[in-house]
Amino acid sequence: MRMMVRSVNGKMAIGWAKESKGCLSSTMTRASNTWKDNQSSQILLSPPLVTLDLPDIWAANSTHYDPPSGQKISNVQIGTVINGKSIAEEIRSRVASEVKRMKECIGKVPGLAVILVGDRRDSQTYVRNKIKACEEAGIKSVMAELPNYCAEDDVMTAVLKFNEDPSVHGVLVQLPLPEHLDEEKILNVLSLEKDVDGFHPVNMGNLAMRGREPLFIPCTPKGCLELLIRSGVEIAGKKAVVIGRSNIVGLPISLLLQRHHATVSIVHACTKNPEQITREADIVVTAAGVPNLIRSSWLKQGSVVIDVGTCPIEDPSSEFGYRLVGDVCYEEALRVASAVTPVPGGVGPMTIAMLLCNTLDSAKRVYGFA
């Protein structure tokens, strides 16, 4: 069964020697305070990435190693549900207020174009929700729908048309595309300045490089990060495991967590002992697309779990004939983790909220609107 992202998941273990924690903590605190002082007009809590960049300071003779200890799974429900829906609604409300202010001040509104290829039910649902969210926020939306077996040139023609439209500030190609289409070739045609999904190679490259700031951070990873920050989860110095190595979620969220000073490992379908590796993590972000892959035995007591996996399961009683479930066995996770995102109602609404934020930012940049 496929999910909203292509591919199942990679291993990249980055070991850090024990750092000078006093220096790290004080520098992070100063950066955080500076950001908060200037953040009154901002919508999100996550700071610009360049404000987080620190020099790597290695201890001289560090042999720090904490072997995993045996864990006892509590039968008492202790996990907090991270309500992505309510957090996303708050962000969308602030976006709508900014769009209204823009319209009143300069007579312009942000515009988003969506290109949908094929008849995947999950993609249709995502696009439908994005268009609805734009309407509610006052953002202009247009859509190009193409058949499953359309030619590559047809998709690129649609992209180029929106690239040249001055009323469109963001262009989104709904992924995954049908297998006969060259995804990389199509995304390379997309204007960097309108890449609100954040998948352009330049945006991804700037996300990966210290001292660089991408124009746009991919929406789902950006939403995951915002959920962690708003839930008060400490990221710096923590062990994080990302399950999945897709260009859409796995790769960018691993880069984003590293920019926030987590120690990141990536687990994928070829990883040996994925359960053991995941069980050592303080933060787990999973985007495998395998229903109930992550059981309680995979999780460290008190960990934080962000479930990006969105899998359509046949359900005749549902409005659209299916329902969505995640990678994580939710009921089990609540008995082990300190906080868990549900599916639906967790990361999904945040992805759309981040798309609106990116589109608004793009329009502000074009019009010089502060």
273-310 pLDDT, tens digit each: 999 999 999 999 999 999 999 999 999 999 999 999 98
**pLDDT tens digit sequence for 111-162:** 999 999 999 987 898 899 999 999 999 999 999 999 999 999 999 999 999 9
Which residue is catalytic, options 108, 174, 194, 258?
A: 174
Residue 360: partners with Cβ closer than 8 Å, 6 or more residues away: 43, 95, 98, 99, 110, 139
In the residue annotation, 119 being an active-site residue is answered as no
**pLDDT tens digit sequence for 306-321:** 999 988 788 888 887 8
Looking at the predicted structure, is the pLDDT value of residue 359 above 80? yes
- 95 φ, ψ to 5°? -60, -45
3-state secondary structure labels for all residues of the chain: CCCCCCCCCCCCCCCCCCECHHHHHHHHHHHHHHHHHCCCCCCCCCCCHHHHCCCCCECCCCCCCCCCCCCCCCCCCCCEECCHHHHHHHHHHHHHHHHHHHHHHHCCCCEEEEEEECCCHHHHHHHHHHHHHHHHHCCEEEEEEECCCCCHHHHHHHHHHHHCCCCCCEEEECCCCCCCCCHHHHHHHCCHHHCCCCCCHHHHHHHHCCCCCCCCCCHHHHHHHHHHHHCCCCCCCCEEEEECCCCCCHHHHHHHHHHCCCEEEEECCCCCCHHHHHCCCCEEEECCCCCCCECHHHCCCCCEEEECCCEEEECCCCCCCEEEECCECHHHHCCCCCEECCCCCCHHHHHHHHHHHHHHHHHHHHHCCC
Q: How far apart are CA 193 and CA 115, in angstroms?
A: 17
Architecture of domain 106-190: 3-Layer(aba) Sandwich (3.40)
Query: Quick one: pLDDT at residue 218?
Result: 96
**pLDDT tens digit sequence for 223-256:** 999 999 999 999 999 999 999 999 999 999 999 9
Looking at the predicted structure, is the pLDDT value of residue 184 above 70? yes
Identify the burial level of 55 via C-beta atoms within 10 angstroms of its C-beta, where 0-12 means exposed, 13-18 middle and 19 or more buried.
exposed
Q: How far apart are CA 158 and CA 153, in angstroms?
A: 9
Q: Which two tokens stand for residue 26?
A: 């004080």
Query: Quick one: pLDDT at residue 50?
Result: 84
Which residue is catalytic, options 108, 122, 195, 197?
A: 197
Query: Quick one: pLDDT at residue 211?
Result: 94
pTM for the model? 0.81
Looking at the predicted structure, is the pLDDT value of residue 327 above 50? yes
**pLDDT tens digit sequence for 50-64:** 888 776 454 443 333
Q: How far apart are CA 247 and CA 308, in angstroms?
A: 14
In this predicted structure, which of 3-7, 160-164, 196-200 has the lowest mean pLDDT? 3-7
Query: Quick one: pLDDT at residue 339?
Result: 98
Query: Quick one: pLDDT at residue 57?
Result: 54
Query: Quick one: pLDDT at residue 126?
Result: 85
Looking at the predicted structure, is the pLDDT value of residue 6 above 50? no
Q: Which two tokens stand for residue 45?
A: 């809590």
Looking at the predicted structure, is the pLDDT value of residue 80 above 80? yes
Which is higher by pLDDT, 324 or 94?
94
Within a 10 A sphere around the Cβ of 121, how many other Cβ atoms? 11
Q: What is the dihedral of CA 176, 181, 186, 188, to 10 degrees?
A: 90
Q: How far apart are CA 165 and CA 162, in angstroms?
A: 5
Identify the burial level of 272 via C-beta atoms within 10 angstroms of its C-beta, where 0-12 means exposed, 13-18 middle and 19 or more buried.
exposed
Mean pLDDT, the chain, integer: 86
Question: What is the percent of the chain with per-residue pLDDT over 70, rounded to a whole number?
Answer: 82
In the residue annotation, 197 being an active-site residue is answered as yes
- Tell me, yes or no, if the two domains 106-190 and 219-350 fold the same way: yes
Q: Find the mean pLDDT for residues 215-225.
A: 97
Provide the residue ranges of all domains of the chain, joining segments of one domain with +. Answer: 106-190, 219-350
**Residue with tokens 């951070």, as numbered in its chain:** 217
Q: Which two tokens stand for residue 215?
A: 């124009």
Instruction: Check if the beta carbon of residue 245 is closer than 8 Å to that of residue 266.
Output: yes
Architecture of domain 219-350: 3-Layer(aba) Sandwich (3.40)
Query: Quick one: pLDDT at residue 318?
Result: 81
Which residue is catalytic, options 108, 130, 222, 238?
A: 130
Sign of CA pseudo-dihedral 192, 197, 201, 207: positive
Which is higher by pLDDT, 20 or 119?
119
Q: Which two tokens stand for residue 10?
A: 């990679």
Q: Which two tokens stand for residue 20?
A: 């000078």
Query: Quick one: pLDDT at residue 64?
Result: 33
In this predicted structure, which of 20-24, 198-202, 345-349 has the lowest mean pLDDT? 20-24
Within a 10 A sphere around the Cβ of 246, how many other Cβ atoms? 25
Which is higher by pLDDT, 95 or 370?
95
